Amino acid sequence: MENKNDNFDNLALYRTEQINNIVERMPVHGSKCFFYIALGLTGLMIFFSIIIKYPETVSGEITITMRNAPLRIVSKTAGRINLLGTVPRTTVKQNEIFAVIDNPTNTSDLIFVDSVLRAVNPDEMKDLSVQFPTDMNLGELNAEYYSFINSYKQLCEFKQANTFQTREKNYLTQLDTYNKILENNIEKQKVKEKQLEFYKKEIKRDSIERKIGSMVERDVERSQNNYDAMLENYLGIIETYASYEAKKAETEILLEQVKIERLEKERELIVRFRSDLNALYAAILSWKDRYAFQAPFDGTIEFLEFWHDNDFVSTGSEVFSLIPSDNSISGYLQLPSYGAGKVKPGQSVDIRLNDYPHLEYGSIKGEVQSVSLITNKMKTVEDKILDSYMVVIDLPEGLTTKFGSTLDFRYEIKGVADVQTQRRRLFERLFDNLKYSVSQ
């Protein structure tokens, strides 16, 4: 060891002055270059950390399906099925009967009667031109149907006969005649009153002339007789007026009685008609509920098994599925509560589906439509129970990915959704922990 140290000391003695200058001098130029390079890189990092922004993401499990889920239609009665010509992928309208369980009722007759009944408005009975056939085979609904037919015909006959209207019209004609007679009678009374006043003055004048001897007793008596005859005629006119007034009052009473009778009869027939109509409605609804497979909305029928006519169907078995025709695709995101406060309607969502690897097919673009106000319990793959929010995701471009591929739709496709929340600077993110420590 001592020999090695001696060798180094000997080398130092033999170094020249130039070598000593190089070895012992500090490399100032290189140090400056290194310092400026480090300073520039640091400045660039700070500059880009201030101007560069990128969003945070909150992730959760998403399920993509139709906004209105398919409806499974269950048989409520056991029996042999009649498909009525329905095949898979048949398009049906709302309230359309597309299959039935065999029963005594003729399905075509019932569908026809049901369609005709829709033209009858029990609140508007002015138009009674609807014709109901009398040769329908409705099985257990025959009693309700023919009772309705009877009450409907009675109401039609009442409306068409116009018996009460004719009587009302006759009474009104009589009242019009009586009013004219009374008006003429009043005019006659006025004329007779003037004549009576004239004869009364004549009697007075003749009496004065008789007293002064210018007129004989016979002329005075003749004037009195004329007055008495006119008075009798006048009283007869008044008596006739009173008689027609009584007849007019009696006719008015009869007219009111006819109106009351008409209203009571009409009310009775309408009440019976509505009662029988409601009973028939209830019987048809009960029949549909037990035997018919009916579409509650427009859609497409899918068979849940390979059904054929006369196949036996058990009570409670799922027979058909009805897929809504007017529907849209939406995503339903289970978002863990941690960080969920950053999620707001209108934010963009990146969706990666399990059935379609995103590296091959691409991801789907979505947008937050709504966020639930309360949390629900969510079970994770590790059987943990977490609080989560229900987030509805709108898919403005459907199942078209960012690679331009259009994916085939399947109900309840699972995947992962990344909600892009607020855009933040890289500089802010670097100092989040520092801000939290300072605030503490």
pLDDT bracket for residue 194 (50, 70, 90): confident
The DSSP bridge pattern shows strands 385-394 and 413-425 to be unpaired
Q: What pLDDT, on a 0 to 100 scale, did the predictor assign at position 412?
A: 80
Do 131 and 232 fall into the same domain? yes
212 alpha carbon, distance to own chain's centre: 105
Per-residue pLDDT of 269-298, as tens digits, reads 888 988 998 899 999 999 999 999 999 988
Q: What pLDDT, on a 0 to 100 scale, did the predictor assign at position 13?
A: 47
100 has pLDDT over 80 = yes
Least confident span in 238-247, 347-356, 365-374: 238-247
Do 40 and 116 fall into the same domain? no
Residue predicted with more confidence, 204 or 139:
139
Q: What pLDDT, on a 0 to 100 scale, did the predictor assign at position 381?
A: 60
Cα(111)–Cα(93) distance, rounded to whole angstroms?
A: 14
Q: What pLDDT, on a 0 to 100 scale, did the predictor assign at position 50?
A: 65
Half-sphere exposure of 395 (CA within 13 A, CB side): 28
Given 230, 261, 286, the domain boundary residue is: 286
CATH number assigned to the domain comprising residue 112: 1.10.287
Which residues have a Cβ under 8 Å from the Cβ of 273 and sit 6 or more positions away? 122, 125, 148, 151, 152, 154, 155
Structural tokens at position 317: 């078995």
* Residue 172 belongs to a domain: yes
Q: What pLDDT, on a 0 to 100 scale, did the predictor assign at position 201?
A: 73
Do 213 and 234 fall into the same domain? yes
Mean pLDDT, the chain, rounded, equals 79
Instruction: Name the residue among 418, 306, 298, 292 with its Cα closest to residue 352.
Output: 418
CATH number assigned to the domain comprising residue 402: 2.40.30.170
Cα(310)–Cα(319) distance, rounded to whole angstroms?
A: 14
Cα(349)–Cα(320) distance, rounded to whole angstroms?
A: 35
DSSP symbols for 193-207: HHHHHHHHHHHHHHH
* Residue 391 belongs to a domain: yes
* Residue 102 belongs to a domain: no
Q: Are 380 and 420 in contact (CB under 8 A)?
A: no
Q: What pLDDT, on a 0 to 100 scale, did the predictor assign at position 426?
A: 62
Do 135 and 233 fall into the same domain? yes
Per-residue pLDDT of 423-438, as tens digits, reads 766 666 666 655 555 5
328 has pLDDT over 90 = no
pLDDT bracket for residue 8 (50, 70, 90): very low
Q: CA-CA-CA-CA torsion for 421, 423, 427, 433, nearest 10 degrees? A: -20
List C-alpha distances in Å: 15 to 2, 9, 422: 21, 10, 67
Rounded mean pLDDT of 38-53? 72
* Residue 103 belongs to a domain: no
Place of tokens 């003037």: 194
Rounded mean pLDDT of 358-375? 88
Place of tokens 């959704």: 417
Q: What pLDDT, on a 0 to 100 scale, did the predictor assign at position 342?
A: 84
Q: What pLDDT, on a 0 to 100 scale, did the predictor assign at position 136?
A: 83
Do 163 and 272 fall into the same domain? yes
Beta bridge partners of 101: 81
Report the percent of the chain where pLDDT is more than 70. 78
Least confident span in 284-288, 349-353, 403-407: 403-407
Do 271 and 124 fall into the same domain? yes
pLDDT bracket for residue 1 (50, 70, 90): very low
Structural tokens at position 327: 């529907």
Residue predicted with more confidence, 49 or 344:
344
Per-residue pLDDT of 11-42, as tens digits, reads 444 455 555 555 555 555 666 677 778 877 87
Q: What pLDDT, on a 0 to 100 scale, did the predictor assign at position 250?
A: 84
Do 22 and 118 fall into the same domain? no
Range of the domain at 411: 56-66+328-439
| Dihedral sign computed on CA atoms, order 256, 258, 261, 266 | negative
356 has pLDDT over 80 = yes
Question: CB 12: neighbour CB atoms within 10 A?
Answer: 10
Which backbone phi and psi does 24 adopt, to 5 degrees?
-90, -10
List C-alpha distances in Å: 384 to 172, 333, 377, 378: 88, 18, 10, 8
Question: What length is written for the chain?
Answer: 440
Instruction: Name the residue among 391, 338, 335 with its Cα closest to residue 366.
Output: 391
Which residues have a Cβ under 8 Å from the Cβ of 429 and sit 6 or more positions away? none
Half-sphere exposure of 33 (CA within 13 A, CB side): 3
Per-residue pLDDT of 133-186, as tens digits, reads 778 888 889 999 999 888 888 888 777 777 777 777 887 888 888 888 888 888
Do 370 and 402 fall into the same domain? yes
Place of tokens 């004719």: 166
Instruction: Name the residue among 69, 31, 60, 124 with its Cα closest to residue 368.
Output: 60
Do 309 and 378 fall into the same domain? no
49 has pLDDT over 70 = no
Instruction: Quote helix, strand, coil % in the chain, to nearest 5.
Output: 50, 25, 25
Cα(147)–Cα(139) distance, rounded to whole angstroms?
A: 14
* Residue 417 belongs to a domain: yes
* Residue 33 belongs to a domain: yes
* Residue 101 belongs to a domain: no
86 has pLDDT over 70 = yes
Q: What pLDDT, on a 0 to 100 scale, did the predictor assign at position 29?
A: 61
List C-alpha distances in Å: 205 to 145, 200, 209, 237, 281: 90, 9, 6, 27, 90
Do 398 and 375 fall into the same domain? yes
Report the percent of the chain where pLDDT is more than 90. 15
Cα(361)–Cα(407) distance, rounded to whole angstroms?
A: 8
73 has pLDDT over 60 = yes
* Residue 153 belongs to a domain: yes
Do 91 and 160 fall into the same domain? no
Structural tokens at position 31: 């140090």
Instruction: Name the residue among 300, 291, 373 with its Cα closest to residue 77.
Output: 291
Counted domains in the chain: 4
Which backbone phi and psi does 314 adopt, to 5 degrees?
-85, 155
Do 117 and 228 fall into the same domain? yes
Q: What pLDDT, on a 0 to 100 scale, did the predictor assign at position 294?
A: 92
